[in-house]
Amino acid sequence: MKPVVYTRAQQLPAILAQRIAILDGAMGTMIQRFKLNEAQYRGEGYSGPDGTGDRFKDFERDVKGNNELLSLTRPDVIRDIHEAYLASGADLIETNTFGATTVAQEDYKMAHLAREMNLASAKLARAACDKFSTPEKPRFVAGALGPTPKTASISPDVNDPGARNVDFETLRAAYYEQVEALVEGGSDVILVETIFDTLNAKAALFAVDEYFENSGERLPLIISGTVTDASGRILSGQTVTAFWHSVRHSQPLAVGLNCALGAALMRPYIQELSRVAGDTFISCYPNAGLPNPMSDTGFDETPDVTSRLLHEFAADGLVNIVGGCCGTTPDHIAAIGQEVATLPGRKIGRGVFYKEPDAALAG
């Protein structure tokens, strides 16, 4: 086994020990604002030097809605979104790779493009971060691993409890390919997010660790689960505490919650996670409240509402990383940043999950 060397995001643990870091907001919400049609998703009419021209003009099925494809066909759109979030003050931006696995891309018959999507997406985020980084405010690329539309724990057939539409090995292989391309493209951090099935997450974490071991390089890891309703459980049935104990072996830099709920409904679960995960940082990036098709973003909360709620989380010492999920925009992120700017981050223990930066990230 190669010796593990930490080479990226060396400042991040120290930043989190000193202040609250800002994650970006929704990618899908911002893409929807461009109102792209089918031809535009295919890249037709885009004259930029980094586009694909007519490559997908005659592709066999509709691709509108495949947001990850835009990293290849309309990199200008993804670049603009990244830069808008960075201009709003984000410390970390997520790659446009939520659905960029072979498993998820099968829905568009584009599984063969998954690696290319991840590599291109990471490079776009890397270039944007490099453009906005300063010695006083470095910016970081979070390589995003989404949950996939298939679940390894839950049967898709109510008449057959043992049925599954994906297995662990298929997920592991898909995630390994994704991690490899994200790191190659310039990611600083690996973010396993929107976890609704812990077994899917286990496959992702296994692949991440496998890649780290094979490459000899270890990036900081952030894990973010999703509580789907007022039961306080993720979709595959675990409470927040049980979820943490299922993933804590990965020794993440931070663990948290995102999506499904707005900040008000998410608060008790962030409190629970903050209580049980005493040796790691806590992240929180909720939706902008509840869905509202009549609003500009499709969600209820304006930037002042979301930022006020996250200010309360920060003031109560619950969080170290805050940002936004569905329905949030650069305006939300700017408001959140302003609300938490003067507040210290949650204090954590100095146990196995956190070491002083000069010891943990040497090399």
Mean predicted confidence (pLDDT) in 169-178: 98
pLDDT digits (tens, 9 = 90+) for 65-84: 999 999 999 999 999 999 99
Statement: residue 8 has pLDDT above 80: yes
pLDDT at 358: 44
H or E element in which residue 128 lies? helix 114-132
pTM of the model: 0.94
CATH number of the domain within which 334 lies: 3.20.20.330
Q: Is residue 276 part of a domain?
A: yes
Q: Is residue 359 part of a domain?
A: no
Q: Is residue 328 part of a domain?
A: yes
DSSP 158: T
Q: Is residue 30 part of a domain?
A: no
Of the candidate ranges 34-38, 135-139, 359-363, the one whose mean pLDDT is the lowest? 359-363
Statement: residue 355 has pLDDT above 60: no
pLDDT digits (tens, 9 = 90+) for 228-273: 888 899 998 899 999 999 999 999 999 999 999 999 999 999 999 9
Q: Is residue 34 part of a domain?
A: no
H or E element in which residue 35 lies? none
| HSE-up of residue 256 (Cα within 13 Å, Cβ side) | 27
Q: Is residue 58 part of a domain?
A: no
Question: What's the domain range around 231?
Answer: 12-24+81-346
Q: Is residue 57 part of a domain?
A: no
> Alpha-carbon distance 304 to 337, whole Å?
11
Looking at the chain, how many residues does it have?
A: 363
Q: Is residue 224 part of a domain?
A: yes
pLDDT digits (tens, 9 = 90+) for 207-224: 999 999 999 999 999 999
In single-letter form, the type of residue at position 246 comes to: S
- Torsion sign, CA atoms 28, 180, 103, 112: positive
Number of domains in the chain: 1
Residues 6+ apart with CB under 8 A from 98: 27, 28, 67, 68, 144, 146, 193, 194
pLDDT at 331: 98
Report the chain's mean pLDDT, rounded to a whole number: 92
Mean predicted confidence (pLDDT) in 319-327: 98
